[in-house]
Chain A
């Protein structure tokens, strides 16, 4: 029964997306999207419950046996990622009810939601498939739809941001494809498990190293690992609010997932340890943490600030991976989950600001927190979570990450992590300060339709989405069993323990 469910995760959005594109009614298209997301979320939950204790769920597409056919092989990591992606889809779906009509022309809402579902489909597909070429296909589906989604942003810069992302994203995807092609030439197979199994028979070929480098570069670009992050701030900054929420919490995370699969399941660990990849990743992670945090601190616009903070947070995840221990990997996988919650919550907050004040510039928003105390409070709480204040989700990952670094006496890494956190205080406080203190100037609002200076209150659906996120930040910071057990199971499985 569960085997059949796995394919539904891909089939449902695949069928519903073209149907959604037909309609022009916002309410209808929104309802379809939200219900698709909820169904996917429920299915992911069922699958995760099935596989959390180390079992596998296997589905063979069209009944063709692997390695000839495409197989979906679900372990705890796949299910965990699918759950994050579909969960965030639900939250951003709830949020878009009021936000999308205010930012996207109603005639386009069918296309918008269709692209949204295709993006969801692509990300879920990446998380499920066990076939590396099939993975590329899903990567392209999600990328193409996200280019479209980003370009729907209200400002004209959204077009250039989307175009820049398109160029770099395509380069990344092409690199990935070239790598897969080389690997296919060497191994004659596209099935991840099959390649890994027969790896020793062709590991001496130079082609395999080349393939590895191409694949790694391609993913690093997609995952916005420093220094290949340049597309990310503009893309997240100018996208429509709903899209910023969804992509910031999922797109890079799924790419990190691909990185994990390639590093731990496709290639043997010893093979790339010889290539000094762990050291390389560790350095990039540390530099990324500090660079991202400092750049975030320099920003004057909330969405770009959050985007640069994402670069730093991806750095933390990369550090966790590169430490190559159980604790480190647990921290990395846990941070996939925790950062998704935190960033989604903060982008929801930014979305509410866009909706109400029509601006996310810090200078425009001075004192705005007073007219939206609850939103401000939830945002501040998520911000504290980003810093890693104890009692929140951010703290839990920081704890394990520091523990992993201390276990190996890597003091420079410890230094980079804590310095990054100190800059996090500075950039989060920039937001808090701007919203908290009253300004002498009136809030300057650009072309608001109603003629009012601003929209008096956020809609209930937005508040609901925001508080779901904020409460998750607190709940999973105190009661860490569920995400921790899942992350720990993943880490053990990846290291083959």
Chain B
């Protein structure tokens, strides 16, 4: 009973924080203090739920029941607590980072920024703890709307155009595909509950698994599977903390989180493999992984390159979900965590470069590594983790994904596609990510006398947290591993 209140608080606390923050526009120090405090308490609440997860299974509450049999309700679930932990934990790092960044960059409307950030986090918590697909869908949309003003923060032409693309692709695809897919599920299965092993088995003809799952994947365009990925590069017009937390962690991970939820709890992995639907569907994320990596190679704008890298990495998770055996699902789930820590570090580093040097193109970074050694070391660590090398957390998720790929039991052709995709894309990662710190460290700068120093101290602290986590998670990934294990029972 008591834990139900804790659960409720995880969603209400950021909302409450947002209200307080919005009133503190006149005193920036206190405003940012409140943000940090809210983030810390939210993280504590999620830790509390994690510690008490044995008793928390019962925790849950219902808000309303707009459609007969379909309630807006929340419940504790292990996969959700993992997502909530990542998002709230990295919110702390982002808050610290944002203090340095927003001030140094002299951004306008900072109160609006902090307020809406908290509101978006509330949406993420609601997505994480949704008890059924209906609730998840509601807050999936809520997240789209609440992040829109953050994407268009600067209010210039680019922001306007980017924002339009953002809202139209995300909301359009969810209404065009996700909503019908959900209603078809509701109509055939008579329920939208998340049940271990799925709800569609027995009520849906296995010939329809492929089209329905395709509708879901296209509808959940937050997962960034091509061809509906264009919103993510557009969203890069946002301030860096937004790109870092929302468009490398919270929003995009809400997308892949939903995909994994649908695969595991709506269809059931056995049902998908039995129907052979995944043979064809695997090609979609596999294509995205390679194509996005290749596009990333051509991008000179640092944030855009990172965005395409995110698209590629998100498809690893979708690929894992589509392979749909135990190891791959665990790998997909762990990749949500591992990629989050590494990618947010990369974005923070990109933001630190922008805020100190006002350079946003890769080609301008020659020799900067000597002036900003900390920033570029962090960038290197993040890159190495994304590539999946040892001593960095990213290795484990790739390990499980690859093991899952090896155990794949569908057609031989697809089997080789999976293995080739995974190995080739790691190579491409090296090219498009690692080349950046290489350039910065080893190229001699063209113009000699510059007095560039490191980013503000708050930025550095914010960057250090996820970087340290990346290294720590190599030695002890047990938290995320055990939570991921619950997905496969």
Contacts and interface: CB of A to CB of B under 8 A. Distances in A.
A429 B167 contact: yes
Contacts of A418: 175-176, 179-180
B187 A403 contact: yes
Contacts of A400: 67
Contact of B66 (A403, A422, A436, A480): A480
Contact-size category for A = 20 to 34
A419 interface: yes
B186 interface: yes
Contacts of A277: none
Interface stretch (B134-142, B318-326, B377-385): B134-142
A426 B168 contact: yes
Contacts of B137: 390
B444 interface: no
A406 B184 contact: yes
Contacts of A437: 152, 155, 160
B402 interface: no
A399 B67 contact: yes
A384 B155 contact: no
A425 B166 CA distance: 12
A438 B153 CA distance: 11
Contacts of A186: none
A480 B67 contact: yes
Interface in A88-125: none
A402 B178 CA distance: 12
Contacts of B134: 390
Contacts of A293: none
Contact of B180 (A402, A477, A478, A480): A402
Given A390-B141, A406-B187, A425 B66 contact: no
Contact-size category for B = 20 to 34
Interface in A423-438: 425-426, 429, 433, 436-438
B140 to A, nearest CB: 9
B150 to A, nearest CB: 13
Contacts of A433: 160, 163-164
A232 B141 CA distance: 32
B211 to A, nearest CB: 11
A479 interface: yes
B171 A479 contact: no
A421 interface: yes
Interface string B174-205: 01100110011011000000000000000000
Interface centre among B64, B66, B72, B187 (most CB of A within 10 A): B66
Given A402-B180, A406-B180, A425-B168, A389 B141 contact: yes
Interface string B23-40: 000000000000000000
Interface string A54-90: 0000000000000000000000000000000000000
B145 A389 contact: yes
A268 interface: no
A387 B171 contact: yes
A391 interface: yes
Contacts of B183: 399, 402-403, 406
Contacts of B171: 387, 389, 425
Nearest to A439: B155
A298 to B, nearest CB: 16
A419 B179 CA distance: 12
A421 B178 CA distance: 13
B63 interface: yes
A396 to B, nearest CB: 6
Interface string B303-343: 00000000000000000000000000000000000000000
A251 to B, nearest CB: 28
A414 interface: yes
A493 B29 CA distance: 63
Contact of B186 (A384, A403, A421, A436): A403
A425 B187 contact: no
Contacts of A390: 134, 137-138, 141
Interface string B149-172: 100100100001001100110011
Interface centre among B138, B142, B172, B186 (most CB of A within 10 A): B172
A478 B145 contact: no
B4 to A, nearest CB: 20
Contacts of B175: 387-388, 418, 421-422, 425
A477 B187 contact: no
Given A418-B175, A425-B175, A438 B155 contact: yes
A35 interface: no
A2 interface: no
Nearest to A437: B155
B130 to A, nearest CB: 12
A426 B171 CA distance: 10
Contacts of A425: 167-168, 171-172, 175
A429 B155 contact: no
A478 B63 CA distance: 9
Contact of A429 (B64, B164, B187): B164
Contacts of B155: 437-438
B64 A478 contact: yes
Nearest to A422: B172
A398 B155 CA distance: 33
A496 B90 CA distance: 58
Interface string B93-123: 0000000000000000000000000000000
Contacts of B66: 391, 395-396, 477-480
Interface string A407-421: 100000010001101
17 contacts: A387-B171, A389-B171, A390-B134, A396-B67, A399-B183, A402-B183, A406-B187, A418-B179, A419-B176, A422-B168, A425-B167, A425-B168, A429-B167, A478-B66, A479-B66, A480-B66, A480-B67
Q: Which 4 A-B pairs have the closest CB atoms?
A: A390-B138, A478-B64, A422-B172, A421-B175
Given A395-B66, A400-B67, A433-B160, 16 more contacts: A389-B171, A399-B179, A402-B183, A403-B186, A406-B183, A418-B175, A418-B176, A418-B179, A422-B168, A422-B172, A422-B176, A425-B168, A437-B155, A438-B155, A478-B63, A480-B66
